[in-house]
Amino acid sequence: MTETPILKLEHLGVTFPNHPVFTDLNLTINQGEFWSIVGKNGVGKTTLMRTILHQLRPTHGRVSYWPNAGDVRIGYVPQFRNIDADYPLTIRDFVGLNLTGWKWPWLSRKEKSAVQQILGETGLEKIANRPIGQASGGERQKAYLAQALVEAPNLLILDESTASLDPVTKTELLDLVQELNTKLQLTVLFVTHDIPMARKYSSQYLMLMPEGTEQGQIAGLTQQKVWEGENV
């Protein structure tokens, strides 16, 4: 299979006031790859994802999408977030929210059918009309995943989004992501502390490491990239 880049990090660095999180990070992610991003608490994984999402301006270097920024549709599933119990939307509405551009309360027939399909694939169909504020933590995480997938992204970022799930649900969701990765060449960045899951689902990983620590390895993965950060 020829390797076509979708995302390039070149000499990337982020420094908060007096606190360099990482410097000179170089990495090419190709279409259809499933990467795990691993490393201890506070090492800079979320900072890296925020930089990739252009929510954070790098201090050095750049993030570029290939072939053009317009060709890359990113789906982002955040870490567990609390939702107010009075949040008025149903799970179905929540999943379709981004399709409306947050402007219109209605969806086209095609959009409704995309929502219905993803509700089925994520196992949310039966509870689709329940207010999301009343859904359990795991159900909400599924809804966030469904919301990211319904827009048919070609790059999916899971930011420790499976951390609060029970092992069965976690496996179900990652199986679905893996299926989309295989069938549709969905590129995946999976931020996780769960090394067995990283080993099971990804083929490559980026391990962010504090400067001066020994290089880590994840046995069983065919490729590895190890980068040493600073000052963590």
Ligand X SMILES: Nc1ncnc2c1ncn2[C@@H]1O[C@H](COP(=O)(O)OP(=O)(O)OP(=O)(O)O)[C@@H](O)[C@H]1O
Q: Which residues bind ligand X (CB under 6 A)?
A: 16, 19, 21, 39, 41-47
Return the number of the residue (38 or 150) whose C-beta is nearest ligand X.
38
Contacts for 35 with CB less than 8 Å, ≥ 6 apart: 29, 188, 189, 190, 202, 203, 204, 205, 206
DSSP E strand stretches across 31-72: 34-38, 60-65
- Helix orientation angle between 167-184 and 137-149, rounded to the nearest 10 degrees: 10
Name the E strands within 66-112.
Answer: 74-77
CB of residue 151 to ligand X, shortest distance in Å: 24
Sheet holding 5-16, edge to edge: 19-30, 5-16, 60-65
Q: State in angstroms the smallest separation of the CB of 204 from ligand X.
A: 18
Compute how many other C-beta atoms are within 10 angstroms of the C-beta atom of residue 166.
11
Considering the complex, state which of residue 19 and residue 81 has its C-beta at the smaller distance from ligand X.
19
* Shortest Å distance, C-beta 105 to ligand X: 34
Question: Among residues 78 and 131, whose Cβ is nearest to ligand X?
Answer: 78
Select 21 or 155, whichever has its Cβ closest to ligand X: 21
- Is residue 61 within 8 A of residue 25, CB to CB? The reply is yes
| Cβ 206 to ligand X shortest distance, Å | 12
In terms of CB distance, is 43 or 186 closer to ligand X? 43
Closest distance between ligand X and the C-beta of residue 79, in Å? 7
Among 208, 182, 200, CA closest to 49: 208
